[in-house]
């Protein structure tokens, strides 16, 4: 199972990288906007900065919604660094772009996925990653984790190579549920990743070990 961090924040990416468990980064235009990046040139530099921190796939999203525009952007983005993965929305033009890029050997991340049908099309087109947005489904009283389960099972039947990248993670519990559902990758905010470390019995146990040590072996 791969762990990606879902942010464009350099400090958070560095912190996740320092844990030694980070396999990649996902960004989107909203995450990039939060970092106060102004202008295309600054954005491209920001992507390179991220690629220089993490030795793994870094998703950068296209803004164009037509095939030619998407391919032009994809070429610009993939020239930045070998780890760049082109994030493309699952719309008709996006599907064509994924097929084209996959034939060219360029990695893609098919985004804004909310149904098994979209997942099948993306896999047929040769997407490297598929990003079902589970939190946004939960937000509308649907079941995001169930979508992961369905897609993993469909991909299993047919041997599709596309990796299921659970996105729109809202909690630590989501990470566990996606792992149980068989997601290949989970992309999460830093807090949700750090939440995996937490257990009150770990804290209590450590406290006791330290106080026992200090009252005996460590006594001065």
**Given 87, 99, 208, 219, which residue is catalytic?**
87
Query: Whose CA is closest to 56, among 128, 120, 110?
Result: 128
Q: What is the DSSP letter of 25?
A: E
133 near ligand E4P, judged by CB under 6 A: yes
Tokens found for residue 153: 């099972």
d(CA 101, CA 70): 10
106, 73 contact by CB (below 8 A): no
Residue 156, token pair as written in the block: 């299993």
Q: Tokens at residue 149, please?
A: 């389960």
**How many angstroms separate the CA atoms of 183 and 165, rounded?**
6
Alpha-carbon torsion (89, 91, 93, 99), positive or negative: positive
Nearest CB to ligand E4P, comparing residues 47 and 133:
133
Q: Residues 185 to 204: which contact ligand E4P by CB under 6 A?
A: 187
Size of interface with ligand E4P, in residues (CB under 6 A): 11
Q: Say whether residue 26 binds ligand E4P (CB under 6 A).
A: yes
Catalytic residue list contains 124? no
Stretch that binds ligand E4P, among 41-49, 98-106, 130-138, 172-180 (CB under 6 A): 130-138
Q: Site map for ligand E4P, 137-166, x if CB under 6 A?
A: ------------------------------
Task: For residue 60, state whether it binds ligand E4P (rule: CB under 6 A).
Answer: no
Q: Per rule CB under 6 A, is residue 90 in the interface with ligand E4P? A: no
Binding site for ligand E4P (CB under 6 A): 6, 26, 28, 111, 131, 133, 135-136, 167-168, 187
Residues serving a catalytic function are 87
């Amino acid at each position: 199972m791969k762990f990606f961090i879902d942010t464009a924040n350099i400090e958070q990416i560095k912190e996740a990288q320092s844990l030694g468990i980070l396999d990649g980064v996902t960004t989107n235009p909203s995450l990039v906007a939060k970092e106060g990046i102004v202008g295309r040139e600054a954005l491209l530099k920001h992507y390179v900065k991220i690629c220089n921190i993490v030795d793994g796939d870094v998703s950068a999203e296209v803004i164009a919604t037509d095939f030619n525009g998407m391919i032009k952007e994809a070429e610009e983005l993939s020239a930045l660094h070998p780890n760049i993965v082109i994030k493309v929305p699952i719309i008709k033009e996006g599907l064509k772009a994924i097929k084209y890029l996959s034939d060219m050997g360029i990695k893609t991340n098919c985004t804004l996925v909310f149904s098994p049908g979209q997942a099948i099309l993306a896999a047929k087109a040769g997407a490297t990653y598929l990003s079902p947005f589970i939190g946004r489904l939960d937000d509308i009283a649907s079941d995001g984790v169930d979508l992961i389960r369905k897609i993993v099972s469909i991909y299993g039947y047919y041997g599709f190579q596309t990796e299921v990248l659970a996105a729109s993670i809202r909690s630590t519990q989501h990470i566990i549920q996606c792992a149980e559902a068989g997601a290949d990758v989970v992309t999460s905010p830093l807090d949700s990743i750090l939440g995996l470390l937490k257990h009150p019995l770990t804290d209590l146990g450590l406290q006791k070990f330290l106080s026992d040590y200090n009252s005996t072996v460590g006594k001065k």
